[in-house]
Amino acid sequence: MKKIKSYYILIINHSMELTKEQKKEIQEQQSQKYSTKRVTSPDLEKILYEAIPVLDHGFVRVVDYMGDDTSIVQSARVSYGKGTKKVSTDSGLIKYLMRHRHSTPFEMCEIKYHIKLPIFIARQWIRHRTANVNEYSARYSIMDKEFYVPSKENLAAQSTNNRQGRGNLINGTQADNILKILKDDAERNYQHYEEMLNEKYDGTIIDDKKQGLARELARMNLTLNSYTQWYWKTDLLNLLNFLALRADSHAQFEIREYADVMMNTVKKWVPTTYDAFIDYRVGGMELSAKGKIVIQKMIKGEKCNIESSGLSKREWNELMDSFGFKQHLV
């Protein structure tokens, strides 16, 4: 099971910088107090609206949510109020729902995030078509002058056995040159973006005698490591499906960093559901019918090999590795 990071909600000494206006807005939001009859999650309330740093300039903020663990239980039982059931009984029900993929009750909780992320990660993220999304408009506004540049320890060559993965780290002068290219290209393209707009990112007009190109056209020249922002609202079921894929060790590092932060918000929001999710989805595994037969034979002490299993080499090795049978890897 992969280790989930624990995040302290501090912005100090991090490369992500919030403007004075943004900090003021967050402080005003956090100072608001409301009385409600609806359920709230105390731990999530503590970090509500807070900008949690991700990558070099990104962040994740929880800006709204609905429901908690009891909402899932109520939905499953179609009951009124919390009832008289014990917490242990509620926990058992949530585990049962998670274990048997009875998913509808988890749809009764919703959460809304404000996320700042590189465009190339946003394009990967948007493939999860199970959320309501409203993105920063580059037709209406000028894009921020901020770009994602990976750190040296995350600069890797193309994997030789995985077409969508990374291999060995790139070091030395080659790494320095790649980072320089990424920075220079982003800076140069943004400078051209401003020239075409005839306007600086802070709104200053460059040449009063010139017309600026339409923002919807000028934006096409920006690099994919430019940062965008969006509001992303989804229900708990689809959030967990997203995290099962994007917090996994096979996911791209950059989107995994966001998923790890969001995983921690789930832990604060619905701790019982989080524990069940870690147990049955993140730390668990699925077996094919053939894989199940292989494990059953091994438990009985019967002879079993890849030739008789009907599994491919990759399937066999994944199965052996998952159960710690390193001596049977081929």
- Tell me how many degrees the CA angle 121-124-125 measures, rounded to the nearest 5: 85
Is 127 catalytic? The answer is no
Give φ, ψ of 245 to 5 degrees.
-90, -45
From 139, 246, 256, 281, active-site residue: 246
Q: Smallest Cα–Cα separation from 239: which of 112, 114, 116?
A: 112
- Catalytic residue numbers read 246
